[in-house]
Amino acid sequence: MGFKERLKEKRLEANLTQVQLAEKISVTARTIQNYELGTRKPTKFEVVEKLAEALNTTAEYLLGQGGMLVLAAQEQGGSKAAKDIDELVSEVSGMFAGGHLSDEALDGAMQALNKAYWIAKEKNKKYGRRKSKEVPRE
């Protein structure tokens, strides 16, 4: 079950309409609709925390481990990092879709890959483009 399903499930459990939930967390009803349709996800942890509080649940439950990693990447490294982590999470989840790993083991694998991603990103800074010093012209 993904974010959109968990959000809708918790909203219905709380007996809230999309409009009521939107008002509680200060977003538009269209935003909640997009979240539940899966066409959009929150890009700030603050919004997820407000959703979780309004629905009497946790951000971890709403997003799942993979979603938490993607959101953290969004906040730490921007949309490119979030896209990269989302691809990693999807690939890892797909590799173990047969159910051979417990949820805890799958979470551990995702966290390890997330950590490896950030280490590689940091190392690549050393070998990235360097600004050349301009030589004064005479």
Domains of the chain, start order: 1-57 (1.10.260.40), 64-127 (no CATH)
Q: Which residue positions in the chain have pLDDT lower than 70? A: 65-66, 68, 92-103, 105-107, 109-110, 126-138
Look at residue 23 in the predicted model and tell me its pLDDT. Answer: 95
How many Å apart are CA 119 and CA 69, to the nearest integer? 15
How many Å apart are CA 10 and CA 8, to the nearest integer? 6
Look at residue 84 in the predicted model and tell me its pLDDT. Answer: 76
Look at residue 98 in the predicted model and tell me its pLDDT. Answer: 62
Look at residue 131 in the predicted model and tell me its pLDDT. Answer: 54
Look at residue 31 in the predicted model and tell me its pLDDT. Answer: 95
Q: Are 94 and 78 contacting, i.e. CB atoms less than 8 angstroms apart?
A: no
Look at residue 3 in the predicted model and tell me its pLDDT. Answer: 86
Look at residue 26 in the predicted model and tell me its pLDDT. Answer: 93
State both tokens at 121: 């990103």
Look at residue 94 in the predicted model and tell me its pLDDT. Answer: 64
Is the pTM of the predicted complex or chain greater than 0.95? no
Look at residue 97 in the predicted model and tell me its pLDDT. Answer: 62
Look at residue 76 in the predicted model and tell me its pLDDT. Answer: 74
